[in-house]
Structure 1
Protein backbone atom coordinates (compact mmCIF):
# COMPACT_ATOMS: atom_id res chain seq x y z
CA UNK A 1 0.00 0.00 0.00
CA UNK A 2 1.26 3.44 -0.95
CA UNK A 3 -0.38 6.70 0.08
CA UNK A 4 0.40 9.41 -2.42
CA UNK A 5 -1.24 11.94 -4.68
CA UNK A 6 -3.05 10.72 -7.78
CA UNK A 7 -0.40 12.13 -10.13
CA UNK A 8 2.39 10.48 -8.15
CA UNK A 9 0.52 7.17 -8.27
CA UNK A 10 0.18 7.52 -12.05
CA UNK A 11 3.94 8.08 -12.33
CA UNK A 12 4.70 5.10 -10.11
CA UNK A 13 2.41 2.82 -12.15
CA UNK A 14 4.00 4.01 -15.42
CA UNK A 15 7.50 3.42 -13.98
CA UNK A 16 6.61 -0.10 -12.83
CA UNK A 17 7.02 0.82 -9.16
CA UNK A 18 3.36 0.14 -8.40
CA UNK A 19 1.03 -2.46 -9.87
CA UNK A 20 -2.24 -0.56 -9.62
CA UNK A 21 -3.82 2.46 -8.00
CA UNK A 22 -6.72 4.90 -7.91
CA UNK A 23 -6.19 7.75 -10.37
CA UNK A 24 -8.06 10.67 -11.89
CA UNK A 25 -9.49 9.49 -15.19
CA UNK A 26 -8.39 12.30 -17.49
CA UNK A 27 -5.97 12.96 -20.33
CA UNK A 28 -2.95 12.41 -18.09
CA UNK A 29 -4.05 8.84 -17.32
CA UNK A 30 -4.92 7.76 -20.88
CA UNK A 31 -1.70 5.71 -21.18
CA UNK A 32 -2.95 3.41 -18.39
CA UNK A 33 -5.57 0.67 -18.45
CA UNK A 34 -8.47 2.11 -16.44
CA UNK A 35 -11.69 0.81 -14.94
CA UNK A 36 -14.11 3.51 -13.82
CA UNK A 37 -14.85 3.54 -10.08
CA UNK A 38 -16.87 6.63 -9.33
CA UNK A 39 -17.82 10.10 -10.51
CA UNK A 40 -17.51 12.41 -7.51
CA UNK A 41 -18.29 16.08 -6.97
CA UNK A 42 -15.57 18.42 -5.73
CA UNK A 43 -17.18 20.76 -3.21
CA UNK A 44 -16.26 23.70 -1.02
CA UNK A 45 -15.82 22.54 2.59
CA UNK A 46 -16.61 25.10 5.30
CA UNK A 47 -17.50 25.08 8.99
CA UNK A 48 -21.27 25.01 9.68
CA UNK A 49 -21.20 28.62 10.91
CA UNK A 50 -19.49 29.98 7.77
CA UNK A 51 -21.63 32.24 5.51
CA UNK A 52 -21.16 29.78 2.59
CA UNK A 53 -22.75 26.94 4.61
CA UNK A 54 -26.27 28.24 3.92
CA UNK A 55 -25.73 28.53 0.17
CA UNK A 56 -26.50 26.00 -2.52
CA UNK A 57 -23.38 26.97 -4.47
CA UNK A 58 -20.28 29.16 -4.35
CA UNK A 59 -18.68 30.86 -7.36
CA UNK A 60 -14.91 30.43 -7.72
CA UNK A 61 -14.38 34.18 -7.18
CA UNK A 62 -15.92 33.92 -3.70
CA UNK A 63 -13.93 30.76 -2.95
CA UNK A 64 -10.64 32.49 -3.85
CA UNK A 65 -11.50 35.49 -1.66
CA UNK A 66 -11.15 33.22 1.42
CA UNK A 67 -8.03 31.87 3.16
CA UNK A 68 -7.53 28.32 1.90
CA UNK A 69 -6.33 25.07 3.43
CA UNK A 70 -4.88 23.08 0.54
CA UNK A 71 -3.11 19.84 -0.18
CA UNK A 72 0.47 20.08 -1.41
CA UNK A 73 1.45 19.70 -5.07
CA UNK A 74 0.91 16.21 -6.51
CA UNK A 75 -2.55 15.72 -5.03
CA UNK A 76 -5.60 16.11 -7.24
CA UNK A 77 -7.24 18.45 -4.73
CA UNK A 78 -4.39 20.92 -5.21
CA UNK A 79 -4.30 20.37 -8.95
CA UNK A 80 -8.03 21.09 -9.08
CA UNK A 81 -7.69 24.36 -7.13
CA UNK A 82 -4.63 25.49 -9.12
CA UNK A 83 -6.41 24.80 -12.44
CA UNK A 84 -9.53 26.64 -11.26
CA UNK A 85 -7.40 29.62 -10.23
CA UNK A 86 -5.69 29.70 -13.65
CA UNK A 87 -9.04 29.46 -15.47
CA UNK A 88 -10.48 32.34 -13.44
CA UNK A 89 -7.35 34.49 -13.31
CA UNK A 90 -7.44 34.23 -9.52
CA UNK A 91 -4.75 33.73 -6.92
CA UNK A 92 -5.16 31.30 -4.04
CA UNK A 93 -4.59 32.71 -0.55
CA UNK A 94 -2.97 29.59 0.92
CA UNK A 95 -3.18 29.84 4.70
CA UNK A 96 -2.20 26.19 5.42
CA UNK A 97 -0.96 23.16 3.51
CA UNK A 98 -1.52 19.60 4.68
CA UNK A 99 -1.88 16.25 2.95
CA UNK A 100 -3.71 14.86 5.97
CA UNK A 101 -7.50 14.88 5.65
CA UNK A 102 -8.16 14.84 9.44
CA UNK A 103 -5.78 17.77 10.00
CA UNK A 104 -7.28 19.74 7.10
CA UNK A 105 -10.77 19.14 8.49
CA UNK A 106 -9.66 20.26 11.96
CA UNK A 107 -8.22 23.50 10.57
CA UNK A 108 -11.45 24.17 8.65
CA UNK A 109 -13.63 23.33 11.69
CA UNK A 110 -11.68 25.94 13.70
CA UNK A 111 -12.42 28.57 11.04
CA UNK A 112 -8.82 29.18 9.94
CA UNK A 113 -9.67 28.63 6.27
CA UNK A 114 -11.83 26.68 3.86
CA UNK A 115 -10.93 23.88 1.48
CA UNK A 116 -12.24 21.60 -1.22
CA UNK A 117 -12.88 17.88 -0.90
CA UNK A 118 -14.82 15.18 -2.62
CA UNK A 119 -18.39 15.47 -1.32
CA UNK A 120 -18.24 12.10 0.48
CA UNK A 121 -15.25 13.24 2.57
CA UNK A 122 -17.15 16.16 4.13
CA UNK A 123 -19.85 14.03 5.76
CA UNK A 124 -19.69 15.15 9.38
CA UNK A 125 -21.93 17.39 11.51
CA UNK A 126 -19.52 20.30 12.01
CA UNK A 127 -18.71 20.76 8.32
CA UNK A 128 -20.80 21.73 5.31
CA UNK A 129 -20.30 20.71 1.67
CA UNK A 130 -21.33 23.36 -0.86
CA UNK A 131 -21.23 22.91 -4.62
CA UNK A 132 -19.14 25.14 -6.83
CA UNK A 133 -20.99 27.28 -9.37
CA UNK A 134 -20.80 25.64 -11.84
CA UNK A 135 -20.48 22.20 -10.19
CA UNK A 136 -17.12 20.44 -10.54
CA UNK A 137 -16.88 16.70 -11.12
CA UNK A 138 -13.98 14.23 -11.12
CA UNK A 139 -13.91 10.70 -12.46
CA UNK A 140 -11.80 8.27 -10.45
CA UNK A 141 -10.62 4.97 -11.87
CA UNK A 142 -8.63 1.95 -10.82
CA UNK A 143 -5.60 1.84 -13.14
CA UNK A 144 -2.57 -0.23 -14.06
CA UNK A 145 0.09 -0.11 -16.76
CA UNK A 146 -1.16 -0.80 -20.28
CA UNK A 147 -0.52 -4.47 -21.10
CA UNK A 148 0.72 -5.24 -17.59
CA UNK A 149 0.18 -8.65 -16.07
CA UNK A 150 -2.07 -8.66 -13.01
CA UNK A 151 -1.57 -11.54 -10.62
CA UNK A 152 -4.61 -13.58 -9.62
CA UNK A 153 -4.69 -11.72 -6.31
CA UNK A 154 -4.55 -8.33 -8.08
CA UNK A 155 -7.25 -9.35 -10.57
CA UNK A 156 -9.40 -10.62 -7.69
CA UNK A 157 -8.92 -7.26 -5.96
CA UNK A 158 -9.91 -5.35 -9.12
CA UNK A 159 -12.97 -7.58 -9.58
CA UNK A 160 -13.97 -7.15 -5.93
CA UNK A 161 -13.60 -3.37 -5.97
CA UNK A 162 -15.55 -3.00 -9.22
CA UNK A 163 -18.33 -5.30 -8.02
CA UNK A 164 -18.68 -3.39 -4.74
CA UNK A 165 -18.36 0.24 -5.76
Structure 2
Protein backbone atom coordinates (compact mmCIF):
# COMPACT_ATOMS: atom_id res chain seq x y z
CA UNK A 1 0.00 0.00 0.00
CA UNK A 2 1.41 3.36 -1.00
CA UNK A 3 0.42 6.94 -0.31
CA UNK A 4 -0.04 7.44 -4.04
CA UNK A 5 -2.58 4.60 -4.20
CA UNK A 6 -4.55 6.15 -1.34
CA UNK A 7 -4.56 9.54 -3.06
CA UNK A 8 -5.79 7.94 -6.28
CA UNK A 9 -8.57 6.21 -4.33
CA UNK A 10 -9.75 9.41 -2.63
CA UNK A 11 -9.73 11.34 -5.92
CA UNK A 12 -11.91 8.69 -7.62
CA UNK A 13 -14.25 8.65 -4.61
CA UNK A 14 -14.66 12.45 -4.72
CA UNK A 15 -15.42 12.53 -8.44
CA UNK A 16 -17.11 9.13 -8.80
CA UNK A 17 -15.07 8.93 -11.98
CA UNK A 18 -11.72 7.46 -13.01
CA UNK A 19 -11.51 9.94 -15.91
CA UNK A 20 -12.03 13.04 -13.75
CA UNK A 21 -9.61 11.73 -11.13
CA UNK A 22 -6.95 11.18 -13.78
CA UNK A 23 -7.45 14.72 -15.08
CA UNK A 24 -7.14 16.17 -11.58
CA UNK A 25 -3.98 14.21 -10.82
CA UNK A 26 -2.44 14.43 -14.31
CA UNK A 27 -2.11 10.64 -14.40
CA UNK A 28 -3.33 8.27 -17.12
CA UNK A 29 -6.46 6.22 -16.47
CA UNK A 30 -4.65 2.89 -16.97
CA UNK A 31 -2.13 3.91 -14.29
CA UNK A 32 -4.92 4.75 -11.83
CA UNK A 33 -6.86 1.58 -12.66
CA UNK A 34 -3.79 -0.60 -12.09
CA UNK A 35 -3.07 1.12 -8.79
CA UNK A 36 -6.65 0.64 -7.51
CA UNK A 37 -6.69 -3.04 -8.53
CA UNK A 38 -3.44 -3.58 -6.62
CA UNK A 39 -4.84 -1.72 -3.60
CA UNK A 40 -8.07 -3.79 -3.61
CA UNK A 41 -6.02 -6.98 -3.82
CA UNK A 42 -3.95 -5.95 -0.83
CA UNK A 43 -6.98 -4.83 1.22
CA UNK A 44 -8.98 -7.95 0.41
CA UNK A 45 -12.20 -6.15 -0.55
CA UNK A 46 -13.59 -4.13 -3.47
CA UNK A 47 -13.56 -0.35 -3.20
CA UNK A 48 -15.79 0.48 -6.18
CA UNK A 49 -18.75 -0.89 -8.09
CA UNK A 50 -18.49 -0.07 -11.81
CA UNK A 51 -22.00 0.63 -13.07
CA UNK A 52 -21.73 1.64 -16.69
CA UNK A 53 -19.94 4.97 -16.83
CA UNK A 54 -20.53 5.62 -13.15
CA UNK A 55 -18.13 4.56 -10.42
CA UNK A 56 -19.79 4.01 -7.03
CA UNK A 57 -18.17 3.25 -3.70
CA UNK A 58 -18.98 -0.13 -2.19
CA UNK A 59 -20.17 -0.33 1.40
CA UNK A 60 -16.62 -1.06 2.52
CA UNK A 61 -15.17 1.50 0.13
CA UNK A 62 -17.45 4.18 1.59
CA UNK A 63 -16.37 3.34 5.13
CA UNK A 64 -12.72 3.32 4.09
CA UNK A 65 -13.07 6.72 2.39
CA UNK A 66 -14.76 8.29 5.42
CA UNK A 67 -11.88 7.14 7.63
CA UNK A 68 -9.11 7.91 5.18
CA UNK A 69 -10.08 11.29 3.66
CA UNK A 70 -9.61 13.37 6.87
CA UNK A 71 -6.22 11.75 7.47
CA UNK A 72 -5.00 12.60 3.98
CA UNK A 73 -6.30 16.14 4.33
CA UNK A 74 -4.46 16.51 7.63
CA UNK A 75 -1.30 15.14 6.00
CA UNK A 76 -1.62 17.63 3.13
CA UNK A 77 -2.07 20.55 5.55
CA UNK A 78 0.92 19.44 7.62
CA UNK A 79 3.05 19.10 4.49
CA UNK A 80 2.00 22.56 3.28
CA UNK A 81 2.74 24.13 6.66
CA UNK A 82 6.18 22.60 6.96
CA UNK A 83 6.99 23.35 3.31
CA UNK A 84 6.09 26.99 3.94
CA UNK A 85 8.18 27.07 7.13
CA UNK A 86 11.19 25.67 5.28
CA UNK A 87 10.80 27.72 2.11
CA UNK A 88 13.45 30.24 1.17
CA UNK A 89 10.87 32.92 0.30
CA UNK A 90 8.82 32.63 3.49
CA UNK A 91 10.24 30.41 6.18
CA UNK A 92 10.07 30.11 9.94
CA UNK A 93 12.47 30.58 12.84
CA UNK A 94 12.25 29.04 16.31
CA UNK A 95 14.44 31.35 18.38
CA UNK A 96 15.33 30.70 22.03
CA UNK A 97 17.02 33.10 24.45
CA UNK A 98 17.61 33.83 28.12
CA UNK A 99 14.59 35.74 29.59
CA UNK A 100 16.36 39.04 30.41
CA UNK A 101 17.23 39.47 26.72
CA UNK A 102 13.51 39.89 26.00
CA UNK A 103 13.49 43.43 27.37
CA UNK A 104 15.28 44.97 24.39
CA UNK A 105 17.93 42.93 22.63
CA UNK A 106 15.74 40.17 21.16
CA UNK A 107 12.82 42.35 19.95
CA UNK A 108 15.25 44.83 18.43
CA UNK A 109 17.48 42.41 16.58
CA UNK A 110 14.54 40.37 15.26
CA UNK A 111 12.80 43.55 14.13
CA UNK A 112 15.93 44.63 12.24
CA UNK A 113 16.09 41.19 10.60
CA UNK A 114 12.42 41.22 9.55
CA UNK A 115 12.70 44.74 8.15
CA UNK A 116 14.89 43.42 5.36
CA UNK A 117 12.83 42.83 2.24
CA UNK A 118 13.88 39.19 1.84
CA UNK A 119 12.75 38.39 5.41
CA UNK A 120 9.37 40.15 5.57
CA UNK A 121 7.42 36.87 5.21
CA UNK A 122 9.41 34.97 7.83
CA UNK A 123 7.47 33.93 10.93
CA UNK A 124 9.21 33.73 14.31
CA UNK A 125 8.34 31.81 17.45
CA UNK A 126 10.01 33.18 20.59
CA UNK A 127 11.08 30.86 23.41
CA UNK A 128 12.44 32.04 26.79
CA UNK A 129 14.60 29.41 28.46
CA UNK A 130 17.69 28.85 30.56
CA UNK A 131 20.97 28.25 28.72
CA UNK A 132 20.83 24.53 29.57
CA UNK A 133 17.30 24.21 28.17
CA UNK A 134 18.25 26.18 25.06
CA UNK A 135 21.16 23.85 24.32
CA UNK A 136 18.97 20.78 24.85
CA UNK A 137 16.38 22.28 22.46
CA UNK A 138 19.09 22.91 19.85
CA UNK A 139 20.21 19.29 20.16
CA UNK A 140 16.69 17.88 19.74
CA UNK A 141 15.70 20.27 16.94
CA UNK A 142 13.05 22.07 19.00
CA UNK A 143 14.91 25.36 18.48
CA UNK A 144 16.76 26.52 15.38
CA UNK A 145 19.00 29.01 17.18
CA UNK A 146 19.50 30.28 20.71
CA UNK A 147 21.17 33.20 22.47
CA UNK A 148 22.70 31.86 25.67
CA UNK A 149 25.77 31.32 27.81
CA UNK A 150 28.36 28.70 26.91
CA UNK A 151 27.40 25.24 28.18
CA UNK A 152 30.46 22.95 28.41
CA UNK A 153 30.24 19.35 27.26
CA UNK A 154 27.32 19.95 24.85
CA UNK A 155 27.88 17.66 21.83
CA UNK A 156 26.93 18.79 18.32
CA UNK A 157 26.32 22.42 19.36
CA UNK A 158 28.24 25.35 17.91
CA UNK A 159 28.64 28.41 20.15
CA UNK A 160 29.29 31.51 18.06
CA UNK A 161 30.50 34.48 20.18
CA UNK A 162 28.13 37.43 19.82
CA UNK A 163 29.04 40.05 22.40
CA UNK A 164 30.94 40.55 25.61
CA UNK A 165 28.91 41.81 28.56
CA UNK A 166 30.15 43.59 31.63
CA UNK A 167 29.26 41.95 34.93
CA UNK A 168 28.15 44.31 37.70
CA UNK A 169 27.42 44.05 41.39
CA UNK A 170 23.84 44.73 42.49
CA UNK A 171 23.05 45.83 46.04
CA UNK A 172 20.00 47.32 47.79
CA UNK A 173 19.74 51.11 47.64
CA UNK A 174 20.41 51.41 51.38
CA UNK A 175 23.30 48.94 51.43
CA UNK A 176 26.70 49.96 52.91
CA UNK A 177 28.27 49.50 49.45
CA UNK A 178 25.56 51.43 47.58
CA UNK A 179 27.59 54.63 47.24
CA UNK A 180 30.80 52.90 46.16
CA UNK A 181 32.23 53.89 42.79
CA UNK A 182 33.45 50.32 42.30
CA UNK A 183 33.70 47.22 44.48
CA UNK A 184 36.00 44.23 44.61
CA UNK A 185 34.90 40.62 44.75
CA UNK A 186 36.42 40.38 48.23
CA UNK A 187 34.22 43.26 49.44
CA UNK A 188 31.13 41.55 48.04
CA UNK A 189 32.02 38.26 49.73
CA UNK A 190 31.54 39.90 53.14
CA UNK A 191 27.76 39.88 52.61
CA UNK A 192 25.10 37.18 52.00
CA UNK A 193 25.11 36.40 48.27
CA UNK A 194 22.28 35.85 45.80
CA UNK A 195 23.64 33.55 43.10
CA UNK A 196 22.46 32.27 39.75
CA UNK A 197 20.78 28.85 39.96
CA UNK A 198 23.22 25.94 39.95
CA UNK A 199 22.20 24.81 36.42
CA UNK A 200 22.70 28.28 34.94
CA UNK A 201 25.58 28.87 32.56
CA UNK A 202 26.28 32.15 34.34
CA UNK A 203 26.57 30.39 37.71
CA UNK A 204 29.76 28.74 36.49
CA UNK A 205 31.02 32.07 35.17
CA UNK A 206 30.45 33.95 38.43
CA UNK A 207 31.77 31.12 40.59
CA UNK A 208 34.91 31.17 38.44
CA UNK A 209 35.45 34.88 39.13
CA UNK A 210 35.44 34.34 42.89
CA UNK A 211 37.58 31.21 42.68
CA UNK A 212 40.23 33.04 40.65
CA UNK A 213 40.17 35.85 43.23
CA UNK A 214 40.66 33.29 46.01
CA UNK A 215 37.39 34.34 47.66
CA UNK A 216 34.68 32.10 49.13
CA UNK A 217 30.99 33.00 49.18
CA UNK A 218 28.11 32.61 51.59
CA UNK A 219 25.29 31.83 49.15
CA UNK A 220 22.04 32.78 50.83
CA UNK A 221 19.69 32.34 47.87
CA UNK A 222 19.65 31.20 44.22
CA UNK A 223 17.63 32.59 41.30
CA UNK A 224 17.15 31.82 37.62
CA UNK A 225 18.20 35.08 35.97
CA UNK A 226 19.14 38.74 36.35
CA UNK A 227 15.56 39.87 36.97
CA UNK A 228 15.07 37.37 39.78
CA UNK A 229 18.44 38.15 41.38
CA UNK A 230 17.73 41.90 41.23
CA UNK A 231 14.30 41.37 42.80
CA UNK A 232 15.74 39.34 45.68
CA UNK A 233 18.56 41.83 46.16
CA UNK A 234 16.10 44.74 46.28
CA UNK A 235 14.20 42.87 49.02
CA UNK A 236 17.31 42.58 51.18
CA UNK A 237 18.27 38.95 50.61
CA UNK A 238 21.88 39.87 49.86
CA UNK A 239 24.12 41.16 47.08
CA UNK A 240 24.70 39.68 43.65
CA UNK A 241 26.85 39.74 40.52
CA UNK A 242 24.91 39.76 37.26
CA UNK A 243 25.31 40.48 33.56
CA UNK A 244 24.64 44.17 32.96
CA UNK A 245 21.20 44.47 31.32
CA UNK A 246 18.79 47.29 30.48
CA UNK A 247 16.20 45.48 32.59
CA UNK A 248 18.14 46.19 35.80
CA UNK A 249 17.07 49.85 35.69
CA UNK A 250 13.53 48.79 36.58
CA UNK A 251 14.57 47.41 39.98
CA UNK A 252 15.37 49.47 43.12
CA UNK A 253 18.99 48.31 43.24
CA UNK A 254 22.33 50.03 42.78
CA UNK A 255 24.53 48.74 39.95
CA UNK A 256 28.20 49.00 40.81
CA UNK A 257 31.19 48.28 38.54
CA UNK A 258 33.51 45.51 39.68
CA UNK A 259 37.17 46.36 40.12
CA UNK A 260 38.47 43.11 38.63
CA UNK A 261 38.71 43.75 34.88
CA UNK A 262 38.13 40.11 33.92
CA UNK A 263 34.55 40.18 35.24
CA UNK A 264 32.85 39.88 31.88
CA UNK A 265 30.83 37.19 30.21
CA UNK A 266 30.38 36.22 26.57
CA UNK A 267 26.91 35.85 25.02
CA UNK A 268 26.76 33.18 22.31
CA UNK A 269 24.46 32.29 19.42
CA UNK A 270 24.04 28.50 19.62
CA UNK A 271 23.22 26.30 16.65
CA UNK A 272 23.36 22.60 15.81
CA UNK A 273 26.29 21.14 13.92
CA UNK A 274 24.29 18.02 12.98
CA UNK A 275 20.83 19.29 12.09
CA UNK A 276 19.47 21.03 9.00
CA UNK A 277 19.28 24.79 9.34
CA UNK A 278 16.32 26.20 7.39
CA UNK A 279 16.97 29.06 4.93
CA UNK A 280 15.31 31.55 7.31
CA UNK A 281 17.43 30.37 10.26
CA UNK A 282 20.59 30.47 8.14
CA UNK A 283 19.81 34.04 7.05
CA UNK A 284 19.23 35.08 10.68
CA UNK A 285 22.52 33.48 11.74
CA UNK A 286 24.38 35.33 8.97
CA UNK A 287 22.54 38.56 9.82
CA UNK A 288 23.65 38.38 13.46
CA UNK A 289 27.23 37.64 12.40
CA UNK A 290 27.14 40.63 10.05
CA UNK A 291 26.01 42.83 12.95
CA UNK A 292 28.76 41.42 15.16
CA UNK A 293 31.39 42.14 12.50
CA UNK A 294 30.19 45.73 11.99
CA UNK A 295 29.56 46.46 15.67
CA UNK A 296 25.86 47.17 15.07
CA UNK A 297 24.20 44.89 17.59
CA UNK A 298 21.33 46.33 19.67
CA UNK A 299 22.02 47.15 23.30
CA UNK A 300 21.46 44.32 25.75
TM over 0.5: yes
In the alignment, structure 1 residue 23 sits paired with structure 2 residue 158: no
Look up the match of 2:258: 132
Match of 1:141 in 2: 268
What residue number does 2:8 align with? none
**CA apart distance, 1:80:** 2.1
The structure-2 alpha-carbon separation of the partners of 1:110 and 1:150, relative to structure 1 and needing over 3 Å to count, comes to: same
Q: Measured at CA, do residues 70 and 125 of structure 1 come closer, stay the same or move farther in structure 2, by a change above 3 Å?
A: closer
SS at match of 1:62: helix
2:236 to 95, 99, 111: 111
8 Å Cα contact 1:13-1:20 kept in structure 2: yes
Q: C-alpha displacement at 1:41, in angstroms? A: 0.6
Deviations 1:68-96 (A, max 9, x none): 11221121332123222332343321211
Distance 1:101 1:131, change over 3 A: closer
The worse-fitting range, judged by mean Cα deviation, of 99-108 and 18-27 is 18-27
8 A contact 2:149–2:266 mirrored in 1 = yes
Unaligned runs of 5+ in 1: none
1:102, 1:138 → 2: CA distance? 17
Q: CA deviation at 1:107?
A: 1.7
Aligned to 2:260, the other structure's residue is in SS state strand
More helix by share: 2
1:41 maps to 2:166: yes
3-state SS of 1:53 partner: coil
For 1:1-165, list aligned pairs within 5 A. Answer: 1-14=126-139, 16=141, 18-24=143-149, 32-120=157-245, 121-124=247-250, 126-135=252-261, 136-146=263-273, 148-159=275-286, 161-162=288-289, 163=291, 165=297
Taking structure 2 as the reference length, what is the TM-score of the superposition? 0.47
Structure having the higher strand fraction is: 1
Counterpart Cα distance in 2 of 1:50 and 1:125:
14
Kept in 2: contact 1:48–1:127 (CA 8 A) = yes
Displacement, 1:66?
1.0
Distance 1:45 1:18, change over 3 A: same
Higher relative contact order (CA 8 A, sep 6+): 1
Q: Provide the alpha-carbon RMSD of the alignment.
A: 2.9
In 2: Cα distance, 1:37 partner to 1:132 partner:
22
CA distance in 2: counterparts of 1:22 and 1:125, whole angstroms: 24
Larger Rg: 2
Q: How many residues align?
A: 165
C-alpha change, 1:66 and 1:26, in structure 2 (3 Å) is: same
